[in-house]
């Protein structure tokens, strides 16, 4: 009986599958939560998709809860951190 895969071709297929799975995970790790609040776009002055400390200072409300809303402690709010903070404050309910 003839096999369809040699050990080396099977190994390459496994590596390719693993690389594909890892790249899909990287895409999912990005911040997929769309922010419905126009205030996020208004505060994101440099249009990098985050609100940093300088940008947050334009809003007393946002600057007040920036530190507690910044869950990954990177010094900026991602769209999902921003949405979660607004939700927990009862703003988007």
Q: What is the pTM of this model?
A: 0.60
Domains of the chain, residue spans: 1-30, 38-86
Please write the tens of the pLDDT for every residue from 34-93.
556 688 999 999 999 999 999 999 999 899 989 999 999 999 999 999 999 988 888 765
Q: Do residues 86 and 62 lie in contact, with contact meaning Cβ atoms separated by under 8 Å?
A: no
Distance of alpha carbon 40 from alpha carbon 49, whole angstroms: 9
Distance of alpha carbon 37 from alpha carbon 75, whole angstroms: 21
Q: Which CATH superfamily is domain 38-86 in?
A: EF-hand (1.10.238.10)
Q: Do residues 55 and 36 lie in contact, with contact meaning Cβ atoms separated by under 8 Å?
A: no
Distance of alpha carbon 54 from alpha carbon 34, whole angstroms: 22
């Amino acid at each position: 009986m003839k096999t369809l895969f040699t050990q080396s071709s099977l190994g390459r297929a496994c590596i390719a599958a693993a690389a594909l799975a890892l790249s899909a995970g990287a895409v999912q790790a990005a911040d997929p939560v769309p922010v419905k609040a126009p205030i996020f776009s208004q505060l994101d002055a440099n249009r990098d998709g985050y609100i940093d400390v300088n940008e947050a200072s334009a809003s007393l409300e946002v600057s007040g809860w920036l530190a507690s809303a910044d869950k990954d402690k990177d010094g900026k709010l991602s769209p999902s951190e921003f949405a979660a903070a607004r939700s927990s404050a009862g703003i988007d309910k």
